[in-house]
Amino acid sequence: MNLALFDLDNTLLAGDSDFEWGQFLIEQNALDRELHEVRNLEFYEQYKAGTLDIHEFLNFQLKPLARHPRSQLDAWRREFMIKKIQPLIAPGAYKLIEKHQLDGDLCIIITATNRFVTAPIAQALGIDNLIATEPEQKNGEFTGQVSGIPCFRERKITRLENWLDEHNLTWLSFLQSWFYSDSLNDLPLLAKVTHPVAVDPDETLRNHAEKNDWPIISLRQEPASDFHANEASAVLKISGR
């Protein structure tokens, strides 16, 4: 059995779901634009620069979940999926996922973005397994706090290994492993797998990938079938498939 790991934001999506959720709540007048938008942008720039304090960010990002009843949040999320997320799904994402699924690989989305935002996205992409930052809940409502270990940078490895242990698996369970990501923040996990792949990467990751001869691909190209035939085969040829 082989393992295929996928980052979500700016990898399978041509954008950042965490950032877009904040912007969406502003549009619903659920957040003050003047106060929230500037801070949201600041955190996004810190993430891209690799300087994000994940606990500071989560304190900011999860608080809105505690200010509204779950029923309202669920209704907003359904609208968010249609208006914001569906247009962001990268054209080549489905073909890449399908390739690994047809090969019988264990497919997992692993993301720093919280599960409330990302669970329906994983479902839309056809991936059953999701490792995400967990927002704390009490009696079905969000508290605004994080539960457990945030799924970010080195902690992605910890969260993944905990997930594998819960499913009676280890790294040794897999002959080969892939991780697809766009971000310098994922360098620790990219270095852990047998086949790291940079997807529409930021400058730091691109430079690192070029230096280490890692494949660099784009999932944002049309048509998706061309990606499957050309770029996907280029990525997978290193496995001897």
Q: State which amino acid sits at residue 56.
A: E
Cβ-count burial 87-106 (b if 16+ within 10 Å, e if not): ebbbbbbbbbbebbeeeebb
Of the residues 9, 18, 182, 202, only one is catalytic, namely 9
Token pair belonging to 177: 């492993």
Mark whether 9 is an active-site residue: yes
Mark whether 105 is an active-site residue: no
**CA-CA distances (angstroms) from residue 62 to 11, 56, 113, 164?**
23, 10, 10, 26
| Cα–Cα distance for residue pair 114/135, rounded to 1 Å | 6
Residue 113 burial by CB count (10 A; 0-12/13-18/19+): exposed, middle or buried?
buried
Pairing of strands 141-147, 3-6: unpaired
Of the residues 7, 16, 105, 182, only one is catalytic, namely 7
Which of 1, 6, 28 has the alpha carbon at shortest distance from 200? Answer: 6
Q: What are phi and psi for residue 100, nearest 5 degrees?
A: -70, -40
Active-site residue list:
7, 9
